[in-house]
Amino acid sequence: MVCRLAALPAGQVFGTGTILDTARFRNMLGEHVGVAPQSIHAYVLGEHGDSEVLVWSSISIGGVNVNDFAAQMGRPLTPEVKCHMDDCVRQAAYRIIDGKGATNYGIGAGIANIVRAVRDNSRTVMTLSAPAPELEYVHGACLSLPRILGTRGIETTLHPALSKEEHEEIEHSARILREAASTIAYTLCNGPLLERRKATGIGARRIAT
């Protein structure tokens, strides 16, 4: 919806997506296997919320599959360990809000990283939220995927290898986001906001279309 309202080139309107979830996931993995989070290639995709997907199948550390790396370090990733990490990452925001009322510091740091990537044209890979029209199951929704970010905004969207289960979870997350987007679009096209815009002549036609 915002992408349509902004009428800007593709890639210049995007959300922070799952950058916080991805950072938390890497931190937890790093603590478990004893390596810096910056050395871990791991991503949380989909919705920034309950349906987000922790992509275990493609995680690597130093070019080594995460399960093999963990075994070499004597810290195997058992189903119980993975379940615990999944719960901690997925519920982190709720715990922080319960503790201090907001997650302002985390998202502030994430936005600062985004600004630096755009300012410096660093072409950093971040799990940002944006449309993905090339994926049929994402039609009508924005979701988080690894994206290369530079001065021109999102330059490329990456599509990591997923297991069958992860692919099904991503599709489920996309459906949830698509339904939420449809609800917002209906509200904008039929609610007080549209009436105000019609009265002022600002953006009413763009919302309606």
Contacts for 40-45: CB closer than 8 Å, 24+ residues apart: 40/66, 42/66, 43/18, 43/127, 43/146, 43/160, 44/18, 44/89, 44/127, 44/144, 45/18, 45/127, 45/143, 45/144, 45/145, 45/146, 45/160, 45/170, 45/173
Q: How far apart are CA 45 and CA 40, in angstroms?
A: 16
Q: Is 41 annotated as catalytic?
A: no
Strand duo 40-45 + 53-61: pairing: antiparallel
Closest residue by Cα to residue 159 from 174, 175, 144, 179: 144
Closest residue by Cα to residue 85 from 30, 25, 22: 25
Q: How far apart are CA 169 and CA 171, in angstroms?
A: 5
C-alpha neighbours within 13 Å on the C-beta side of residue 61: 22
> Other CB atoms closer than 10 Å to residue 209's CB: what's the count?
7
Annotated catalytic residue, options 32, 41, 48, 84: 48
Annotated catalytic residues are 48
